[in-house]
Amino acid sequence: MLFVVPDREAAAYFQNDLQNLNPSKEIHLFPASFKKPYHLDETENANVLMRAEILNIISNTPLLGHLIVTYPDALAEKVINKRSLQQNTFFIKAGERLDTQFINELLVTYDFEKTDFVYEPGQFAIRGGIVDIFSYAHELPYRIELFGDEVENIRTFDITSQLSQEEVNQVSIIPNVQTKLLEEDRQSFISFLPEENTQIWWKEDIEASVDIIDRYFAKADENFEALMQEAGGTQVVFSPTTLFETKAG
């Protein structure tokens, strides 16, 4: 079920209410990436992670029973299409073989940064037979322990204490969807959801949300034109129609 409420603040309150009513379920929030479109310094990294995590959940796990809360600004941003996301998702499973040189090259291609210790999404570290990866598809980093070239075990861990949290059987690694795969076709988040067994609930009438999305696009278009002027007419970023929804769409 997808719940669409007027804005980010309302979404946070509604998510909390749903969590209190359903303590055994994880209630997902699908946020906007930007405070302002085309302002790179206005990107909220935590929100980019949350968006990628939800796309990964929808793409790779059964959706039946999942509850997602969002708002028009978040729906205004298009997402990578499901086929491209699936084709660019790499799975690491316990008991399978993993070459450290290969995973190093793959993660660099996926726009991950190699560090001594991971502390934010998009980083990885390799120390002997231990590979730490902070995936864009999960809120906690993973520690993969190798025995030779075989994955002996996989655990999530806390970045502050470095202590293990939970053992898992499989890890899904996806690229930074904010910077990679931009040349792939993009689609609306609603069309990313399965056609069957999906219900959408609107707190206000749909037209009010569509108007907000249209105003968001107009602002993105304005900021895009300003960037074009600064760049002397050279297109340095993708056009608004590629990245954002419009009322007509």
Residue 236 has pLDDT above 60, yes or no: no
Q: Which residues of 113-151 are buried (b: 16+ CB within 10 A; e: fewer)?
A: eeeeebeebbbbbbeeeebbbbbbbbeebbbbebeeeeb
C-alpha–C-alpha distance, residues 129 and 153, integer Å: 11
C-alpha–C-alpha distance, residues 237 and 111, integer Å: 18
pLDDT tens-digit profile of 78-108? 998 888 888 888 899 999 999 999 999 999 9
Place of tokens 């499989």: 170
C-alpha–C-alpha distance, residues 75 and 61, integer Å: 21
- H or E stretch covering 124: strand 123-127
Question: For residue 86, how many C-alpha atoms fall within 13 Å in the half-sphere facing its CB?
Answer: 8
In 3-state terms the chain splits into helix, strand, coil percentages (rounded to 5) of 35, 25, 40
What is the number of H-type helices and E-type strands within the chain? 8, 14
pLDDT tens-digit profile of 205-215? 788 888 888 88
What's the pLDDT score for residue 2? Answer: 94
pLDDT tens-digit profile of 146-201? 999 999 999 999 888 888 888 999 888 887 776 666 667 888 999 999 888 889 99
C-alpha–C-alpha distance, residues 124 and 142, integer Å: 9
Torsion angle (degrees, nearest 10) of CA 70, 34, 118, 95: 40
Please state the rounded mean pLDDT for residues 1-13: 94
What's the pLDDT score for residue 17? Answer: 95
